[in-house]
Structure 1
Amino acid sequence: MARRALTTTATVLTTTAALLLTACGGGDDKQDDIKGADTGSTSPSASASASQASGIKRPDIKLPGEFQLTFDGWTSGDAVEQAVLDDAKEQLRAGYAAIIADEPDGGDALAFYDTASGLSQDRQWIKTYTSKNLTVFGKLPAYDPEFTLLGDKKTRAVVSYCTDESKAYTRNRATKEVQGNPAGTDPKVFYTVTLAKNADGVWQNVSTRGKRGGC
Structure 2
Amino acid sequence: MNRPARLVTAALTASAALLLTACGSGGGDGSSSDAIAGADSGRKPSAPPSAPAGAGGVGRPEIELSADFRADFEGWTNSDPKLQAILNDGREELRAKYAAIIEADPDSDAVAFYNSEATLATARTWIRQFTDKDNSIIGEVRVFEPQVHIAGTGSGVLFYCVDERRASTKNRETGKVVATPDKPESLVQYRLRLDKSGEGVWKTTSLTTVPGACR
Whether the 8 Å contact between 2:68 and 2:138 is mirrored in structure 1 is yes
Distance 1:95 1:180, change over 3 A: same
2:158 aligned counterpart, secondary structure: strand
Unaligned segments of structure 2, at least 5 residues: 24-47
- What residue number does 2:93 align with? 91
- What residue number does 2:27 align with? none
1:57 aligned counterpart, secondary structure: coil
Relative to the length of structure 2, the TM-score reads 0.78
Distance 1:21 1:129, change over 3 A: closer
Whether the 8 Å contact between 1:162 and 1:188 is mirrored in structure 2 is yes
CA–CA distance in structure 2, aligned partners of residues 112 and 16 of structure 1: 25
Number of residues of Structure 1 aligned to a counterpart in Structure 2: 189
Amino acid at match of 1:191: Y
Q: Deviations over 1:115-163 (max 9, x none)?
A: 012111201110111111100011111000001212333xx11111111
CA–CA distance in structure 2, aligned partners of residues 22 and 180 of structure 1: 14
Q: Deviations over 1:89-134 (max 9, x none)?
A: 11111111110010122x1111111101211120111011111110
1:24 matches 2:14: yes
1:33 matches 2:22: yes
Report the alpha carbon displacement of residue 18 of structure 1 after superposing the two structures with TM.
3.5
Distance 1:52 1:152, change over 3 A: farther
CA–CA distance in structure 1, aligned partners of residues 207 and 189 of structure 2: 10
Cα RMSD after superposing both structures: 2.6
1:130 matches 2:131: yes
Report the alpha carbon displacement of residue 207 of structure 1 after superposing the two structures with TM.
2.1
What are the equivalent positions in structure 2 for 1:147-186 lying under 5 Å apart?
A: 147-153=148-154, 156-182=155-181, 184=183, 186=185
Whether the 8 Å contact between 1:51 and 1:83 is mirrored in structure 2 is no
Question: Which stretch of structure 1 is more off in the superposition, 170-179 or 205-214?
Answer: 205-214
Distance 1:118 1:59, change over 3 A: same
- What residue number does 1:116 align with? 117
2:57 aligned counterpart, secondary structure: coil
Report the alpha carbon displacement of residue 17 of structure 1 after superposing the two structures with TM.
3.6
Unaligned segments of structure 1, at least 5 residues: 1-5, 35-45
What are the equivalent positions in structure 2 for 1:46-61 lying under 5 Å apart?
A: 47-50=49-52, 53-61=55-63
- What residue number does 2:104 align with? 102
Relative to the length of structure 1, the TM-score reads 0.78
